[in-house]
Chain A
Amino acid sequence: QVTLKESGPVLVKPTETLTLTCTVSGFSLSNARMGVSWIRQPPGKALEWLAHIFSNDEKSYSTSLKSRLTISKDTSKSQVVLTMTNMDPVDTATYYCARIAHQPPGTTTAYYYYYMDVWGKGTTVTVSS
């Protein structure tokens, strides 16, 4: 059974750095084309993709948050870590991690299909002094 679990502080102060950990089970972070994404959702608002990391250590970040985010993985611990610097009250949100699964391209497409097939339950982070 594939599971992901987010952990981290419930409350951070403005300007502090947030460190979130996603611990996965049921699959290996070293599996080919396997990846993990981080997504957040402010209260009452839409989902916002933040970053992803793949088994080959390929990383990508949200354009608007790129300067503040760092994603990394520890395959031996089955963990993916996201850090976000200079936290602000607008960063108050539920933060989710999700497994990225894939399918080969079809006869008319060139690239692999990627989608987030298993999600953690999320962890709520409040930014307040």
Chain B
Amino acid sequence: DIQMTQSPSSLSASVGDRVTITCRASQSISSYLNWYQQKPGKAPKLLIYAASSLQSGVPSRFSGSGSGTDFTLTISSLQPEDFATYYCQQSYSTPATFGPGTKVDIK
């Protein structure tokens, strides 16, 4: 199975900050990487697919980059509604696997 890691596991940031979350795969997954946002008590929401494609309806302050084993989710200007946990997920091979998550909270 492909293992996914994320860093940091948590971070504190202020509204307006630029936030970067890193995801790493245990082997090359090309650009088969998706990002999800989850708020407490809610189902996850798709943000980014294919490493850098913005899902319809997702604000443009979210962006994704990377290929191979290293990927990044960037929030260009953190908004109050962005405080949540973010997960990466690889779709390169089955079984699909998620990263452990990165919790973004208010500084």
Contacts and interface: CB of A to CB of B under 8 A. Distances in A.
Interface residues of B, number: 28
Contact of A60 (B38, B95, B99): B95
Given A37-B96, A62-B95, A113-B49, A46 B43 contact: no
Contact of A115 (B42, B49, B87): B49
A60 B93 CA distance: 10
A106 B31 CA distance: 10
B45 A119 contact: yes
B50 interface: yes
A52 B91 CA distance: 12
B81 interface: no
Contact of A47 (B55, B92, B101): B101
B89 A120 contact: no
Interface in B13-47: 30-32, 34, 36, 38, 42-46
Nearest to B48: A115
B45 A109 contact: no
B43 A113 contact: no
A126 to B, nearest CB: 16
Size category, A interface: 20 to 34
A114 B95 CA distance: 12
B96 A52 contact: yes
B55 A96 contact: no
A115 B34 contact: yes
B53 interface: yes
A109 B28 CA distance: 13
A16 to B, nearest CB: 25
A11 interface: no
Contacts of B97: 49
